[in-house]
Structure 1
Amino acid sequence: MDKELSAISSIGVIAGYLGITAFPVIYHVLKELNLLNSDVGRFALSTALIGDTIGMGSILAFEAERQGQIRTENAVWFMLSAIVLVTLLLSCVRPAMLWINSKTPEGKPVDQSFIVAILLGIFMMGFITDMFGIAIVNGPLWLGLVVPDGPGLGATMVHRSKTFMNEFLMPFSFILVGQYVDFFALGASEWKSLKPLFFMVLTGYLAKFFVTWMAALYWRMPFRDGLTFSLIMSLRGQVELILFVHLMDKKVINVPSFTLLVLMTIVLTATFTPLVSIIYDPTRPYILNQRRNIQHNPQGVELRIVLCIFDTENMNGLLHLLDRTNPTSTTTVSVSSLRLIQLAGRATPLFFDHAKQEVPPIYQWTHTINVLASFQHIRREFMKIQFFTAVAPKQSMFQNICELALEQEASLIILPFMNRGFYQHGTRRTSNSQVLNHAPCSIAILVDKCIVAAVGNSTRHSRNRFAVLFLGGADAREALVYADRMVENQDVSLTVIRFLSYNNVGDNEREKKLDDGIVTWFWVKNETNTRVVYREVVVRNGEETIGAIHDMNDGDYDLLIVGRKRGINPAILTGLSAWSESDELGIIGDYVSSKDFDGTASVLVVQQQVLRG
């Protein structure tokens, strides 16, 4: 082993590199695999953050020891310089950042001069730390840590610097690493000079992997989750490459050793990253084999609903829908209101239970909470509302929704229709479509096409006119049962139109029997109810189905309720699939919610729970 590498300080730095997983590395891998909001992802981020804090202190101590090898006073001045710099950041720079945040009006961009000053401060911090003998990367890192997270300054800094960093600076940093890599020098080196470093690094990798896995199993983490956690904590990335460059600058390692470390890092990460995505499925906990839907919710048992709020635009429609869900003394309703906020200006997702945690001011939604609390007061003991806030990336918001539905044992998730999507691996997705694919219960998507009547008072009619377009299948049956609950309210009149295939062409016998059973149950229950109308229409194809829907539409309905798509006889939809724009609403739901359909009726698209266990 080289003399420089065999020094205690050098071995300490290598040991620190082997034992610590850098937070920025874990964050970017988890973001790419869409695991930031998963249980294992959150645990890995927290562990990496703790490890980075300890590791940063350890590396500073070893750097000080290395400085002290020349003169003892050098180590003292090194530590004093680091302490003074950190104190300056906390006592002066951090308050200045908070002042900038407080002076910026909500929803307005941060003044450009402040952004420029902070970006210049990054270069200044790099210069100062390098002058003090501290690794140059520490200065910008420490400055970034004192920037307030969340919307405002943190989000603005990310937005302004992200493209420049990722598209310009990062490629140059990898070019810098590539300049030091020399496979010819590696091949020309004697194996005995590289063998100690190779086995030290290999032993470190294996020891960390198995010790982390054993520790996870000891604390009774599930086998698969523990294995995934161990794989994640073993990953390496750009931070380690920068550390190797720093070790080269300090002449701790030579070119062959540098090339060996880079090669081992690439092999490890290239092997472990795909294994994580293969072994771990964050949606596995949502797979249930027990029924959680409205149809099988026992009579007299509380109906539990998760109400998702992305913004305040649809609050009036959502409140009206909750009111028409008809909470009574015999059929009480428990609502978990979840406010979803896009993650910006910080790395880790957040989740708040308002009954147990205080929500930071930047994530509060007091006005909406007051509206829901007033609504709860009107319904008194028949409805209970709990409040939650989730701050997460768009790609993983569905995990917060599904986890809350799972924990609350909800039978229904209510989502507003949001046509704003995102691209993941080249495919356009929406949060609603992800919930539809993974939810542990039934889902209802509300397309609010009009300003509906205020809660408890209708300005359009003496009562609300609802209609169910029953095209058959599990989703249609769930929609009919939900509508049956609504029509128990004396202010609701309901028209049910059942579409049947001519000569039973294309019918699935099992689905047909289930449809007959639920329709018979509904009609027997409401036969004497003058507010309920039931009709059947026989159609041959999709064109006749659309025609029948047009014939029943008099432009005076308040709400159209339709099953999404599961179990519908394809014969009655023939020729319509090419015209559908939104798969999450289904073919008929997409049509009646489009601008081509006359009237101002809102649309409720229902999907019954899909049993996946």
Structure 2
Amino acid sequence: MHLYIALVGISIPTIAVFGVALLLRKTMDKDIATDSSIGIIAAYLGITAFPVLYNVLKEFNLLNSDIGRMALAMAIIGDVLGVFTVVAFEAGKQGETGPENALWYMVSLVVIVGFVLFCVRPIMVWINDNISEGFPVDRSYVVAILLGVLVMGFITDFFGLAIANGPLWLGLVIPDGPRLGATIVQKSETIMTDLLIPFSYILVGSYTDVFAIAGVEWSNLAPLFTMVLTGYFTKFFSTWIAALYWQIPFRDGLTLSLIMSLRGQIDVILFVHMMDKGILKIPGFTLLVLMTTALTATCTPLISILYDPTRPYMVSQRRNIQHNPLNKELTIVLCIFDTPSINGLIRLLDISNASLYHPLSVYALRIIELVGRSNPLFIDHVNQEVPHIYRWTNTINSLNCFQDLREFVRFQFFTSVSPKKSMFQDICLLSLEQDASLIILPFNKGGIHNHAIQTVNLQVLDHAPCSVAIFVDKGLLPSTNIGNSHRQYNTKRKFAMLFLGGADAREALVYADRMAANPEVSLTVLRFFSHNYLGDNEEEKKLDDEIVTSFWVKNELNNGVVYKEIVVRNGEETIAGIQAMNDGSYDLWIVGRKQGINPIFITGLSEWSENEELGLIGDFVSSSDFFGSASVLVVQQQILRA
């Protein structure tokens, strides 16, 4: 589908512009009227450059969206065709002075491309393969590659090829992803974005002269203006019609058409190249710059208005633990940011008490930051091969070992490689597609990636199509005995559940109830009431009473379950009640995040909170000031946003 829409969006505007140019050839400037010049302008109007789209989509946080992925795939197709177009254009320009020049151009092109593919590429692969994981790239390699950019630019210019081709080809043969590709990006990004790109725009500005347009007759610029306008309109409508034909929703198709119509820095560089080749003069160059600026300034805000990447996650169906049908497996999306956290997550799955009537279906998603490449990846380990640099074999082996010992747990594995800003989209999308009831996120308190993980957690909490649990692992949950399927512990695992009311507390209680069904678990539930029922929401209280009553009736004869109540007047008494209960013997504290909590319970506590994603009470019981070293599970019930 992507291929067909891309080909339609490229071919129709190219043909339309070429046809209009042939009709207006007699009125054109002689430098534009040649076949090669008309061809390069027509091709430029039909092709949207990948680097242009990438920057815009990254700015709008659309890289991981359905439309973003489709646009990037189509742009790559366009760039491949664009490379052949530039080669044909350069050969045509060389051939205008003699056919032998076009022949030598093609020979030079084949020699240099062969040198890059069969000499430079193996060297780059060797360097990348010999970098030990966790160690930096040798500085001499980095310096040599950066100098190689200048050398390749000189060689291609010396042989009559466009000077930009050399650095482009060198970049294409450098292995992407972590290690070499990421290091080159890191070392060159500052000088590129802060120095070279601003100077390139200064160069463009020095060529641009608005008053030059007024100094020439409009009849000289009208053919170029007509060609560009034809290209813009046919590009937009051909992409839109093709999208509708392939049954892409109306609004999404419109957004895709706007995205594929965007222009940017690559197009401006092409204008400068046309100036160097004598195709454009100052008035024509200025006209193209102004039209490009106007088009992008018009399309960009429309994209942000028309398309919300979080809209698919706004579901109206109940997808949570509380409303998960009886005797149906509980579907969980388990998010793994770093492999050391996997032991705690395995223990959490173990105490979730998978059984014949309550099996677990777990979709384990390894989340890796996108570095050293532009295109995000989402890999299904069953249907796709995982690139070597993104494999997490040891973690998968640990989870498979756990699955072998737990008859009613089933795993499927996925890998997401995406920018920090859009990691949450892959988590939410996988949850939506797999009809998950719960997303489990790790809490990386004090870790080197703490801020990034905190941002992702908050975004998931805001947009998740199901319930979310954040697990603060302090390492003191009794370890699962992987070597023996018959677990034996000297004492029961002691869990405490703080019920402060509201949707999140109800969801947390249902999860705790699931754990309490395990005879090796001792659960204490502490429910809070406000003095004289001050601040209570009657509707929420009825729902709370209903679920607490159901829980107690179910567990009345369970000696491992203790139910207590406490009356408090403010946040200080709430904290005192929790402190009085805490004797340091608990292995896990379970709390609701914040939905529906009576504000009386947390009066005066807001200034204590450091971690918004945990809520006020969750942050308190997970803090270093809280006695004991128990892990904490903070639960948020699905928020219906539709």
Asked if TM exceeds 0.5, the reply is yes
Deviation at 1:515, TM superposition (A): 0.3
Aligned equivalents of 2:135, 2:283: Cα separation in 1: 52
Match for residue 607 of structure 1? 636
Match for residue 142 of structure 1? 169
Deviation at 1:421, TM superposition (A): 5.6
What is the DSSP-based 3-state SS (H/G/I as helix, E as strand, rest coil) of the residue aligned with 2:333?
Answer: strand
Asked if the contact 1:18–1:201 (Cα under 8 Å) also holds between the matched residues in 2, the reply is yes
Asked if the contact 2:331–2:362 (Cα under 8 Å) also holds between the matched residues in 1, the reply is yes
Counterpart of 1:408 (choices 434, 447, 453) is: 434
Match for residue 19 of structure 2? none
Question: What is the letter of the counterpart of residue 589 of structure 2?
Answer: L
| Identical positions, percent | 64
Match for residue 434 of structure 1? 459
Q: Cα 1:493–1:162, aligned 2, differ >3 Å: closer, same or farther? A: same
Match for residue 544 of structure 2? 515
1:129 aligns with 2:169: no
- How does the TM-score come out when normalised to structure 2? 0.93
1:101 aligns with 2:101: no
Q: Cα 1:213–1:429, aligned 2, differ >3 Å: closer, same or farther? A: farther
Aligned equivalents of 2:570, 2:149: Cα separation in 1: 66
Asked if the contact 2:503–2:595 (Cα under 8 Å) also holds between the matched residues in 1, the reply is yes
Deviation at 1:452, TM superposition (A): 2.7
- Deviation string for 1:465-510 (max 9, x for gaps)? 0010000000000000000000101110000000111101110000
Counterpart of 1:181 (choices 168, 191, 208) is: 208
Match for residue 337 of structure 2? 310
Match for residue 394 of structure 1? 420
Question: What is the letter of the counterpart of residue 342 of structure 1?
Answer: E
Aligned equivalents of 2:55, 2:118: Cα separation in 1: 31
Counterpart of 2:392 (choices 348, 365, 373) is: 365
Pairwise mapping of residues 213-292 of structure 1 onto structure 2 (< 5 A)? 213-292=240-319
Aligned equivalents of 1:377, 1:247: Cα separation in 2: 64
Match for residue 418 of structure 1? 444
Deviation at 1:280, TM superposition (A): 0.6
Asked if the contact 2:324–2:330 (Cα under 8 Å) also holds between the matched residues in 1, the reply is yes
Deviation at 1:461, TM superposition (A): 5.2
What is the DSSP-based 3-state SS (H/G/I as helix, E as strand, rest coil) of the residue aligned with 2:406?
Answer: helix
Match for residue 34 of structure 1? 61
What is the DSSP-based 3-state SS (H/G/I as helix, E as strand, rest coil) of the residue aligned with 1:327?
Answer: coil
Aligned equivalents of 2:202, 2:344: Cα separation in 1: 55
Asked if the contact 1:316–1:451 (Cα under 8 Å) also holds between the matched residues in 2, the reply is no
1:151 aligns with 2:173: no
Deviation at 1:278, TM superposition (A): 1.0
Match for residue 564 of structure 2? 535
What is the DSSP-based 3-state SS (H/G/I as helix, E as strand, rest coil) of the residue aligned with 1:494?
Answer: strand
Aligned equivalents of 1:9, 1:371: Cα separation in 2: 60
Asked if the contact 1:26–1:235 (Cα under 8 Å) also holds between the matched residues in 2, the reply is yes
Pairwise mapping of residues 440-459 of structure 1 onto structure 2 (< 5 A)? 440-456=465-481
Match for residue 25 of structure 2? none
Question: What is the letter of the counterpart of residue 433 of structure 1?
Answer: L
Asked if the contact 2:476–2:631 (Cα under 8 Å) also holds between the matched residues in 1, the reply is no
Counterpart of 1:53 (choices 70, 80, 83) is: 80
Deviation at 1:58, TM superposition (A): 1.2
Pairwise mapping of residues 549-588 of structure 1 onto structure 2 (< 5 A)? 549-588=578-617
Asked if the contact 1:307–1:337 (Cα under 8 Å) also holds between the matched residues in 2, the reply is yes
Asked if the contact 1:228–1:279 (Cα under 8 Å) also holds between the matched residues in 2, the reply is yes
Match for residue 479 of structure 1? 508
Counterpart of 2:193 (choices 166, 183, 202) is: 166
Aligned equivalents of 1:312, 1:7: Cα separation in 2: 60
Deviation at 1:450, TM superposition (A): 2.7
What is the DSSP-based 3-state SS (H/G/I as helix, E as strand, rest coil) of the residue aligned with 1:568?
Answer: coil
Pairwise mapping of residues 41-80 of structure 1 onto structure 2 (< 5 A)? 41-80=68-107
Q: Cα 1:226–1:77, aligned 2, differ >3 Å: closer, same or farther? A: same
Counterpart of 2:328 (choices 281, 301, 321) is: 301
My pick for the range that moved more, 450-459 or 527-536, is 450-459
Asked if the contact 1:418–1:432 (Cα under 8 Å) also holds between the matched residues in 2, the reply is no
Counterpart of 1:117 (choices 118, 121, 144) is: 144
Asked if the contact 1:300–1:330 (Cα under 8 Å) also holds between the matched residues in 2, the reply is yes
Asked if the contact 2:31–2:37 (Cα under 8 Å) also holds between the matched residues in 1, the reply is yes
Question: What is the letter of the counterpart of residue 438 of structure 2?
Answer: L
Asked if the contact 2:369–2:420 (Cα under 8 Å) also holds between the matched residues in 1, the reply is yes
Aligned equivalents of 2:630, 2:500: Cα separation in 1: 19
1:503 aligns with 2:532: yes
Match for residue 347 of structure 1? 374
Question: What is the letter of the counterpart of residue 582 of structure 1?
Answer: N
Deviation at 1:459, TM superposition (A): 9.3
Deviation at 1:418, TM superposition (A): 3.0
Asked if the contact 2:454–2:613 (Cα under 8 Å) also holds between the matched residues in 1, the reply is no
Question: What is the letter of the counterpart of residue 437 of structure 1?
Answer: D
What is the DSSP-based 3-state SS (H/G/I as helix, E as strand, rest coil) of the residue aligned with 1:430?
Answer: helix
Match for residue 592 of structure 1? 621
- Deviation string for 1:260-319 (max 9, x for gaps)? 000001111111111111111111111110101100011111111111110122211111
Aligned equivalents of 1:348, 1:46: Cα separation in 2: 9
Question: What is the letter of the counterpart of residue 413 of structure 2?
Answer: F
Aligned equivalents of 1:329, 1:73: Cα separation in 2: 78
Aligned equivalents of 1:199, 1:429: Cα separation in 2: 51
Deviation at 1:402, TM superposition (A): 0.8
Match for residue 355 of structure 2? 328
My pick for the range that moved more, 473-482 or 176-185, is 176-185
Aligned equivalents of 1:58, 1:313: Cα separation in 2: 49
My pick for the range that moved more, 465-474 or 276-285, is 276-285
Match for residue 525 of structure 1? 554
- How does the TM-score come out when normalised to structure 1? 0.98
Asked if the contact 1:394–1:422 (Cα under 8 Å) also holds between the matched residues in 2, the reply is no
Match for residue 18 of structure 2? none
Match for residue 573 of structure 2? 544
Aligned equivalents of 2:33, 2:537: Cα separation in 1: 75
Match for residue 229 of structure 2? 202
Match for residue 16 of structure 1? 43
Asked if the contact 1:453–1:459 (Cα under 8 Å) also holds between the matched residues in 2, the reply is no
Aligned equivalents of 1:451, 1:472: Cα separation in 2: 27
Aligned equivalents of 2:507, 2:350: Cα separation in 1: 19
- Deviation string for 1:548-603 (max 9, x for gaps)? 01000001100000000000000111101122111111010011111111110100
Deviation at 1:388, TM superposition (A): 0.8
Question: What is the letter of the counterpart of residue 134 of structure 1?
Answer: L
Question: What is the letter of the counterpart of residue 497 of structure 1?
Answer: L
Aligned equivalents of 1:150, 1:77: Cα separation in 2: 36
Match for residue 21 of structure 2? none
Question: What is the letter of the counterpart of residue 399 of structure 1?
Answer: Q
Between the two proteins, the alignment pairs up a number of residues equal to 608
Deviation at 1:451, TM superposition (A): 3.9
Match for residue 356 of structure 1? 383
Aligned equivalents of 1:81, 1:228: Cα separation in 2: 42
Aligned equivalents of 2:585, 2:343: Cα separation in 1: 19
Aligned equivalents of 2:246, 2:216: Cα separation in 1: 45
